[in-house]
Amino acid sequence: MSITRGYNQRLMTIRLISFLKQNNLLSKNQFGLRSCIDTEDAILNTTQFI
């Protein structure tokens, strides 16, 4: 993968996540692609649901 392609992918990801957050399109149960939310949070959410 070229450096330019990697940079472009990262830039598009940042823009997409920003758009989704600004327009409240991410579910509160979306744990992937979000900063400060990880597997621990997903497990805790699941165990609380059960």
Q: Which pLDDT score, from 0 to 100, does residue 39 have?
A: 85
pLDDT digits (tens, 9 = 90+) for 11-49: 998 999 899 989 999 888 787 777 788 888 889 989 999
Domain spans in the chain, listed from the N-terminal domain onward? 2-48
Between CA 13 and CA 15 the distance in angstroms is 5
- Residue in the block written with tokens 């979306």: 30
Q: What pTM, to 2 d.p., does this model score?
A: 0.60
Identify whether the C-beta of residue 46 lies closer than 8 Å to the C-beta of residue 39.
no
CA–CA distance from 26 to each of 2, 6, 7, 37 (Å)? 30, 24, 24, 13
